[in-house]
Amino acid sequence: MLWALLGAAFTLRDSFIPSEMRTKLDSSVLIQYWDWRTWIIGALVILLVSALEGCYRGHRHYSEIREKAASEKYAELEDEVEKQRAKAIEADGESTRLNTEIKHLEEEVANQCVEISIRDTRIKHLKEEVANQWVEISTRDTKIGRLQTKLHGDPYSR
């Protein structure tokens, strides 16, 4: 970059400046009068500017790499979030379906419990009815036995 600026300055000097001034601005004339300290300071300035530009370019390059990697990682994470969100929605739908199925099963079990309770009540009534019929049969047998005893006498007494 520095050489480009110097080249442009020399081109302007050689092309547009009158010849009397051109001899005064000739680089060989200027350079002859520079002290060795000026050369060292110039070299150090050139080295410093080159080092700073190299650092800037390196930093910019690695920043671009980090930014690209971060954006790729961000895209991957967004994809993963979308996948997890879809799984959560699917799981929520499955959960809703299972909850509905559980409610239906609970209703079915409750209905069956009511039916069992009704059956138990019917069985209890039937048992009471059977017991009552046994009492009636036992009473009839007793009456029949007494009548037979009266008619035929006591069969065990003979």
pLDDT in tens, 40-63: 998 999 999 999 999 999 999 999
- CA distances in angstroms from 6 to 13, 27, 47, 77, 111, listed in the order given: 10, 11, 16, 51, 100
Q: Could you tell me which residues come within 8 angstroms of residue 2 by beta carbon, excluding any fewer than 6 positions away? A: 46, 49
Provide CB contacts within 8 A for 23, sequence distance 6+: 29
Record the tokens describing residue 83, joined without a space.
């996948």
d(C-alpha 147, C-alpha 157), whole Å: 16
Model confidence pLDDT, tens digit, residues 139-150: 888 888 888 888
Question: What confidence tens digit (pLDDT) does each residue in 83-113 have?
Answer: 988 888 888 888 888 888 889 999 999 899 8
What is the pTM assigned to this prediction?
0.37
**Do residues 30 and 10 make contact, with C-beta atoms less than 8 angstroms apart?**
no
The closest alpha carbon to 25, from 4, 11, 46, 5, belongs to 11
Terminal C-alpha separation, the chain: 151
Instruction: Please name which of 9, 40, 46, 39 lies closest in space to residue 25, comparing C-alpha atoms.
Output: 9
